[in-house]
Every structure is written in structure tokens, then in C-alpha cells.
Structure 1
Amino acid sequence: MEIRGARVLVAGATGDIGSALAERLAGLGAVTALAGRHPGRLAEVRERCGPGPSRTFDAWDLDGAEGTAAWAAWELGGLDAVVVCVGVAAFGPVGEIGEAVAEHVMAVNALAPMAILRSASAHVSSGGLLAAVTGTVARSAPAGMADYAAAKAALADGRSPGVAALRHGGAGDLPAPRRVRIRGARGDRHRSGPATGHHGGGGRGRDRGGHAHGSAGRGDRCRTGSGGAGYVVTGGASPGGPVEDVTPLSPRPLSRVLFRQWWRELVFLHWAADPDEVARLLPPGTSPDLHLGRTYVGLVFFRMDHLALGRGPALPYLGNFGEVNVRLYSRDALGRRGVVFRSLDCDRLLPVLTARAAFGLPYRWARIRTRRTGAGISYDSLRRDGSGAGARVRAEVSPEPYEANALEEFLTCRWGLHAQLRGHTYYLPNTHPRWTFSRCELTSYDETAIAAAGLRAPREDPVSVLYARGVPVRFGPPLRLA
């Protein structure tokens, strides 16, 4: 096949191998469509390759993977070649990997590439090329990599369903898919170490992942990505020790109660976020907490009631107010999971000043209007500083109970916050009863507060929308991080 002028889809263009291939193909005169999971790196690779279409996708989302070739064919007016470079590694004894991680590894390394190649057969021109990057582990599995090797072998084996279908029943005279061994790409194909990518999913993959992860056990064993090296933390380790489990109730009792409050009529909106971007916004001694390799930003609306100090009576007037916060997800060296608030809008000035002075929390004075009419609930927030920053949500709440999936448990079962005060990072623990959620349908929203908090504004709808009637909350004294 003549490369110059060829229309080529590179799926997995944000990883080391995929980006190197994309740049090489562009240098040889190919017209490339690039797909990868990391928006920032995708933009960088696109710029180096020259003008052309690009699209974010995640290999764990099999529906999204399957539609990638059709998108590229539409953008380029057809396809002459498809190169699939997605993958994720997992290390550890077979008995410790767990069903969720094993399923995840098989989906990203085998099922997603097969889905892309299968759908591409309808779009690649006669005489074109289908290629999937595998690895030497497909022929000989190193110790501690049985699941990874099995997944790679499934893709490399000529008897695998996706490859066999293309070989024997492909589109016209389309040649058999080729397996390409890449040498000399930038960096190692698979590295262990701190995660810098993010991973998640939607459609079929997200549903399966949510249920499976609940049985995986200790946190984020497998950090993965469609489009590049798999970054793995074995055993769910956090920097300095094991990370605590996600639990519906606090794993630690409070030594004493510092203050109490009620959170009522909560609406949670969440979007996936770039872990690199999030890491720069966290206090020292913490790192982004990840669910299946991806971290998130939350926009939470609620009413605060019955704020009280210690075991004393609730504060009249000042202890009741609306709040809208932007929060990130963190863990520390002791493995404690927490939240980091990037902003907290509040419509009572004295609580704003007190929380800023006593705890270093980024409270902002705002006008907040809450309305509940039948099944409808709405919040409107606008800061009083003239910046125009704020947030809005409109939702319809059903009386039908809703069982949170594994991702939503990860986002809401948080038993403390990390913050910085006078140059020191601390952890403020909390406890409350387990959440009870109801089904909630989002009708409209405005997430301006997220960009004002220093993050890139979301370009898609939230990946999760939750409503909770409310819980009583107790906070303990702050614990300084070493």
C-alpha cells in the first residue's frame, strides 16, 4: 500500500507507540485521523502530525471503540488503513488479580481492538491494511503477567473470533489483518509507576466495569488507557502504603466531634478529569485518587442545615445556607481517600469568612437560590465578586430508589477532606450514615464554576447524576499530614 496520501486511522494515538506511529505516518505523507483517550496529549500529537480530525475515546467503552472507524471514514472520506495501538498491562499473581481487573485487561487488550478491526472492515478500501499492535508476551508470558499475556494472545492468535472473521469473511478482497511488532518507539510500551493517564468508559463497558469493580477488592489495581502504555499500581497501593477500601460507612471512628451539620437535597454532577491537571491543584502530600485509572471533578449542590459546634445546639440563621462546591478526589500517603475543594459557594458571609480563616477552605460569598416544586429541584448560584462565576442545575427527582454503581460509590463514599492551612496539609475526617439515592434526570445545568476553579471546562454531559435526600454529618478534629 502506498503510504503517501493514504487515509489512516490511528486508534490509541496518545500513547508512546501510537503517537510515534502517527507522527511517522504523517511524516511519510499519510493523512491521519487520530483517536486516543487523553485530550491534552491528543491535541499535542495532532499538532505535530499536522491538520486533520481527532477524537477522544476509551477502549473500555466498547461501543465507542466500535464506532471509531466509522467516524474516521466519515471525516477522511474513506479509509485505506487502520492501526490499533490500545493496551493496558496488569502485574501480579493470578490469585490476586481479581475478576474485575481480569475482565478489564481482556476488554482493553483484546475485545476493543477486535471491535475496531471488525467495524473497520466495512470502511477500509480494497487493498488496504488492518493492523493491531500486540506484544512478545503473546508468545511467552513472563511471571506475574498471565492475564495480560492471555489477552494479548487472544488478539494475536489467528483463531480469535474478531481476527478470524476478518480473515475469512472480510470486506471483498480486504487483506488479512497483520500483527506488527514495533521497535524503537518513544519510551517503553508498558511501565509501572505513578499514573499520568486516565481511564473510564461509557456504554456497555462502563456498565460492566461498574459492577465488576465492586468485586475487585482493594482499590485501583489496574490503571489503564486506550491509546498507550498501561500504568499499573499493584495491590491498590498509594504513595507510601495501601489505599483504604471504598466503604459505605467510615472506616475510622472520630476521636471527638468538632462540629455537626445536615446536608440536604443534594445533587451530584461528575465529569472525568485529566489526572495531570488535577495533580497540580492538590495540596502537597496528596495525589489524584483514581477509579480504573481515571479521576473526576464533582459539582455538588445542596443545603446546609443545623450547623453546630461540638455537641452544642444548632446555630440559628448562620447555620442554615445553600452551598455549591467544586471538588476533586485525593488520597494521601496513609491511603486515606478524601476530597479537595477547589471552591465552595455559600450565601452566608460569616460562615464564608470563618471557614476561610479557620480551615483555609476556598469559600466564596454568593447568591444561591434553591427551589423545589413537586419532582423538580433547582439551584442557581452566582458569586458576589463580579466575576460572573457560578453554577446552575435543574433536575427531576423520582421517588424510585437508585443503587449507586462502583464509580458512584467511589465518588460519594468519602470520609474526609484534604486541605492546606498556613503551609501545612491536613486531613479533616467525617462520618455519616450510608447514602440513600433516588433516580434523578438532569434537564439543564451550567458548570461555569469548574473553569473558575482552575480546571478545563467539561465538553460533554456529566458521566454521573445523583440525588440524595440528605444525611447528618459529623466532623472530627484535623489531622496534620507528616
Structure 2
Amino acid sequence: MKKPWIMTQEWHNLLFLHWPIPPDLLLPHIPQELELDLYDGQAWVGVVLFKAKRTRPRLLPPVPGAGTYLELNVRTYVKLNGKSGVFFFSLDADSPLAVKTATTGDFLPYRHARMAIEEHRGTWRFQSKRIHEHSFSEILDLSFRVISPPIVKNELEGWLTERYCLWTKPKNRLFRVDIEHDPWQLEYVKGTVYRNTMASFLPVDFPQELAITHYSEWQKVRFFPPVQEQ
């Protein structure tokens, strides 16, 4: 029986960016217990940005200073024991308190970044520069515009976005965190990447263009207690 959820938040103005990556380039960067989840033999790296709002623990009000913040994460897709989910290479946020809370015990690789997102006449501009002490100052700078109504997802689009757990490995112990939300309502996007250094650990550069991209206006998410994998 699943335990009650422990935290909830809303994700607003979310942008998915996805690039295909050769699997052998990602394998050295995921825990050995996990297997890369491939689509037609291809691995994928996702860069996801959004504004988190109304972040709060169960039965408690939002924490002042950590309830609303911008987040930018870099991830790939993995599986274990027949279950598919996400592994994060990095998670940047513009709230020092949110970063401090999430990195307690090195549970997740959050880093502090300076971020901004603005919308003008239907075009969004997002900029992020990591400023975390002793971290490489990775940068993402892009603009985009939504160009469609909500779509019916094809098989690949659903595979890339409908992920309901994550794995993390602090202090050599592998944990899974299950999440819950409605299916994504996605829209197509056009835009321009001005600079992208968000996966500096890879021996190849991301193309300076949008690959497969989707926008979602809003999603409410619930997180469940971490489960240590055997």
C-alpha cells in the first residue's frame, strides 16, 4: 500500500527540451544499478524549466522563501525492475532556501542559479546562470513562442514526458521517489537557443537550437516518501 504523499507543488509555464544522445555517452554518468531507458535504441537528455509555486509539505502552509522559485533541470530516462523514470544530472533553482532544503544529505543535486523568465507579446525569454559556490557556471539562454493548441501526444512525446518516478543515489544508497499528476497537456513551441552549456559533463555540445520541444501551462504535482531500492 502506497504511503500518503509528503509534498505538493504547482509547475507553471513549463518547457521541455529534448535531444537524442548516444547511450554510451550517458552510461558512465548514471548509477550502475540503473539501466538506460531507450526509445528505438536511442537515449535522450531532457532540459526542463518551470516556475514552482505553492510548494508545501503535507498539512502545512508553504515555507516562506521556498514556496515559489524558478527551476531548471537536466535529466535522462532510466529503468529498474520494470519501472521507468528519471535520473537527474543537475537541478538548478533561484531560491537559496529551496536549494539548501533539497540538498540536505546530498539527496538531490540542486545548485543555486540566477534566473529570469519574462513574457512579452506571446514570446517568452528565459535566462539562467549557475552561481553555486565551487560549481561550473552553466548557462541557458533562450526564447520561445507557443504555436499550437493542446496536442494529442504521439508515442515518443508520451514516452519523453509521462514519467512518474525519479531515482537518486546519495551516500551510495539508491532511492526512488514516486510522483503523481494528471497527464500532460502539451503544446508545440518554436524558439531560439542563444546559449546552452547545461550538460558540460558530456563530451559533445548540445546543438544550439531547439530539438523536440513542448510547453505546458500548468500542472499540480504530489511527491511520495523516498523508497530505498534493494
Q: CA RMSD in A?
A: 1.8
1:418 pairs, out of 149, 152, 167, with: 167
Q: Which residue of 2 aligns with 1:353?
A: 100
Q: Does 1:468 align with 2:191?
A: no
Q: 1:268 corresponds to which residue?
A: 16
Are the structure 2 counterparts of residues 420 and 466 from structure 1 closer, same or farther at C-alpha, using a change threshold of 3 Å? same
Instruction: Answer whether contact 2:193 2:209 (CA < 8 A) is retained.
Output: no
What is the CA deviation profile of residues 369-391 of structure 1, one whole-angstrom value per residue up to 9, with x for unaligned ones? 01112311121000114733111
Unaligned runs of 5+ in 2: none
CA 1:459/1:374 → structure 2, altered by over 3 Å: closer, same or farther? closer
Residue by residue over 1:378-425, the C-alpha shift from the partner in whole angstroms, topping out at 9 and shown as x without a partner, is 210001147331112210113522222211111110001011012111
Establish whether residue 295 from structure 1 lines up as the match of residue 73 from structure 2. Answer: no
Q: Relative to 1, partners in 2 of residues 1:324 and 1:455: Cα closer, same or farther, differing over 3 Å?
A: farther
Equivalenced residue count is 228
Which amino acid letter does the alignment assign opposite residue 376 of structure 1? T
Q: Give 1:426 deviation, angstroms.
A: 0.9
- C-alpha change, 1:264 and 1:254, in structure 2 (3 Å) is farther
CA contact 1:273–1:296 (8 Å) conserved in 2: yes
Equivalent positions of 1:166-177 (< 5 A) are: none
> Which of the residues 88, 113, 116 maps onto 1:366?
113
Runs of 4+ in 1 over 4 A off after TM superposition: none
1:433 lines up with 2:179 in the alignment: no
Identity of aligned residues (%): 29
Q: CA deviation at 1:462?
A: 4.1
Contact 1:271-1:461 at 8 Å conserved across structures: no
Q: Quote the Cα distance in structure 2 between the aligned partners of 1:258 and 1:427.
A: 14
The structure-2 alpha-carbon separation of the partners of 1:310 and 1:284, relative to structure 1 and needing over 3 Å to count, comes to farther
- Aligned partners of 1:384, 1:445: CA distance in 2, in Å? 19
Distance 2:162 2:130 in 1: 28
Say whether 1:255 aligns with 2:8: no
Q: Deviations over 1:256-289 (max 9, x none)?
A: 1111111110111110012112121112310110
Distance in structure 1 (CA, Å) of the matches to 2:215 and 2:144: 9
Give a deviation string over 1:11-49, Cα, whole Å, max 9, x none.
Answer: xxxxxxxxxxxxxxxxxxxxxxxxxxxxxxxxxxxxxxx
Question: Residue 402 of structure 1 aligns to a residue in which SS?
Answer: coil
Spell out the pairing of 1:315-464 with structure 2 (5 A cutoff). Answer: 315-332=63-80, 334-358=81-105, 360-385=107-132, 387-398=136-147, 400-451=149-200, 453-454=201-202, 456-459=204-207, 461-464=209-212
Structure with max Cα Rg: 1
What is the CA–CA distance in structure 1 between the aligned matches of 2:106 and 2:124, rounded to whole Å? 31
The question of whether the paired residues in 2 share the 8 Å contact of 1:257 and 1:311 is answered with: no
* CA distance in 1 between partners of 2:91 and 2:223 (Å): 17
| Partners of 2:2 and 2:160 in 1: CA distance | 21
Separation in 2, partners of 1:384, 1:408: 32
Question: SS in structure 2 opposite 1:396?
Answer: strand
Can you list the C-alpha shifts for 1:167-195, whole angstroms capped at 9, x where unaligned? xxxxxxxxxxxxxxxxxxxxxxxxxxxxx
User: Which fold has the larger relative contact order, with Cα–Cα distance below 8 Å and residues 6 or more apart in sequence?
Assistant: 2
Greater share of residues in helix: 1
CA contact (8 A) 2:65 2:97 kept: no
3-state SS in 2 of match to 1:280? helix
Are 2:177 and 2:224, in contact at CA under 8 Å, matched by a contact in 1?
Answer: yes
Higher strand fraction: Structure 1 or Structure 2?
Answer: 2
Pair 1:456–1:357, CA change in 2 (3 A): farther
Work out whether residues 427 and 480 of structure 1, in 8 Å CA contact, stay in contact via their aligned partners in 2: yes
| Pair 1:278-2:1 in alignment | no
Structure 1 residue 454: Cα displacement = 4.0
In 2, distance between residues paired with 1:474 and 1:308? 10
d(CA) in 1 for partners of 2:140, 2:59: 33
Structure 1: 5+ residue runs without aligned partners? 1-252
Contact kept, 8 Å, 2:192 with 2:210, in 1: the verdict is: no
Q: TM-score, normalised by structure 2?
A: 0.92
Between stretches 287-296 and 435-444, larger displacement belongs to 435-444
| Inter-partner Cα distance in structure 2 for 1:270 and 1:470 | 19
